[in-house]
Amino acid sequence: MTALCSENCSSQYQLHQTNQPLGGNCLLVFIMLGKILLNILTLGMRRKTTYQNFMEYFCISLAFIDVLLLVNISIISYFRDVVLLGIRFTKYHICLFTQIISFTYGFLYYPVFLIACIDYHLHFCKTNFPFKKLFYFFTVTVIWISVFTYVLGNPAIYQNLKAQNIYSYQCPFYVSIQSYWLSFSVVMILLMVFITSWSEVITLVQAIRITSYMNETILYFPYSSHSGYTMNSKKTLLPKFIVCFLGTWLPFVLLQIIILLFKVQIPAYIEMNIPWLYFVNSFLIATVYWFNCHKLDLRDMALPVDPFVNWRCCFIPLAIHNLEQIEKPISIIIC
């Protein structure tokens, strides 16, 4: 495996590459088609009550870029030789376009993670600004343009594309080191949290039950009135967060562990996908909730809402006896 950059530019970025024969264009089309179907399925499964945020806009933009890439490589694969606006496109441009997208996706992990953190922090602090939707659209657009410009204007990347893409029978697809360290950090934090509160997690899992209320499924979290911690203390919330998070994302966490253990090299154009972004999104929301649990107002419906996990039930003991006899709806316990 060839290193992308020379040693003097490794501090700026560190990527790895995997080779795929140029004859596998049909396979590339099917891979992108499968990824797009997975993106659509994930977007369709999300809860519809979520508020607009940066991550939602970025996920939609990512789905659009994936579709655009699929259309381009499909047209070139079908016609094999296309002339558009005086520019001749051949099968080698399939590799070129996919490499550029891989580079771009590879550099997006840290900026997206950082901006999402800032967005949730500002929202939690109730920092209002006008034209929020327009602001998110502008921010996402600026991020894409900035990263595309950096990729196309970086001399090291340009020389690498020029040397290996056009005249080679192998098409190198790049794996971002940013995704590796983000996945590693999330998995390690989850592991440490689970080890720290594993006894409480086991007790909670054994005592938890699922019931129905107002035609919706809710989780009944037991709560001991003799607990030495307050209801919204960080120590009390930690096992509940683990149960809620792993209850939704356990298969994805196991997948990340397998990838990390076996050092699987996944090209960036595949690894940057909407399920992965929503996985990180849930982790970010849980982190914001946990650090600011003492400031939360559970009646505030403007709190960050996870498209897949409802964290509100973690902040309420839910020690409500005869739940089925309650006549008035309690919307904040719906999970």
Spatial distance between the Cα atoms of 164 and 162, rounded to a whole number of angstroms? 6
**Residues paired with residue 167 on neighbouring β-strands, in sequence order:** none
pLDDT at 217: 63
Mind giving me the DSSP string for 149-179?
Answer: HHHHH-HHHHHHHHHHTTT-SEEEEEEEHHH
**pLDDT per position in the chain (335 positions), as tens?**
333 343 334 334 445 555 555 455 788 889 999 999 999 999 998 876 666 789 999 999 999 999 999 998 888 877 776 666 666 666 777 888 888 899 999 999 999 999 999 998 888 777 777 788 899 999 999 999 999 999 988 877 766 666 555 445 567 777 889 999 999 999 999 999 999 888 888 888 887 776 655 555 656 666 554 444 444 567 777 888 888 899 889 999 999 999 999 989 899 999 999 999 999 999 998 898 888 776 665 555 455 578 888 776 666 544 344 444 443 444 333 33
Q: How many domains does the chain have?
A: 2
Same domain, 141 and 250: no
Q: What is the pTM of this model?
A: 0.81
Q: Which residue has the tokens 């070129």?
A: 96
Spatial distance between the Cα atoms of 88 and 176, rounded to a whole number of angstroms? 30
Last residue of a domain, one of 152, 174, 196: 174
Spatial distance between the Cα atoms of 174 and 181, rounded to a whole number of angstroms? 15
pLDDT at 282: 93
Range of the domain at 58: 13-174
Same domain, 156 and 194: no
**Residues paired with residue 176 on neighbouring β-strands, in sequence order:** 15
Same domain, 46 and 194: no
**C-beta separation of 28 from 93 below 8 A:** no
The angle that helices 54-79 and 132-153 make with each other, rounded to 10 degrees, is 50
Residue 66 lies in a domain: yes
pLDDT at 226: 42
Same domain, 204 and 67: no
Same domain, 214 and 156: no
Comparing C-alpha atoms, which of 335, 288, 302 is closest to residue 316? Answer: 335
Last residue of a domain, one of 174, 200, 235: 174
Same domain, 27 and 168: yes
Residue 1 lies in a domain: no
pLDDT at 216: 54
- Non-local (6+) Cβ contacts of 96 within 8 A are 161, 165, 166
Q: Parallel, antiparallel, or unpaired: how do β-strands 81-84 and 87-90 relate?
A: antiparallel
User: Which two tokens mark 315?
Assistant: 């902040």
Spatial distance between the Cα atoms of 191 and 171, rounded to a whole number of angstroms? 37
Mind giving me the DSSP string for 277-317?
Answer: HHHHHHHHHHHHHHHTGGG--TT-TTS---SS--GGGGGS-
User: Which two tokens mark 218?
Assistant: 């809710």
Same domain, 195 and 313: yes
User: Which two tokens mark 95?
Assistant: 């590799």
pLDDT at 99: 87
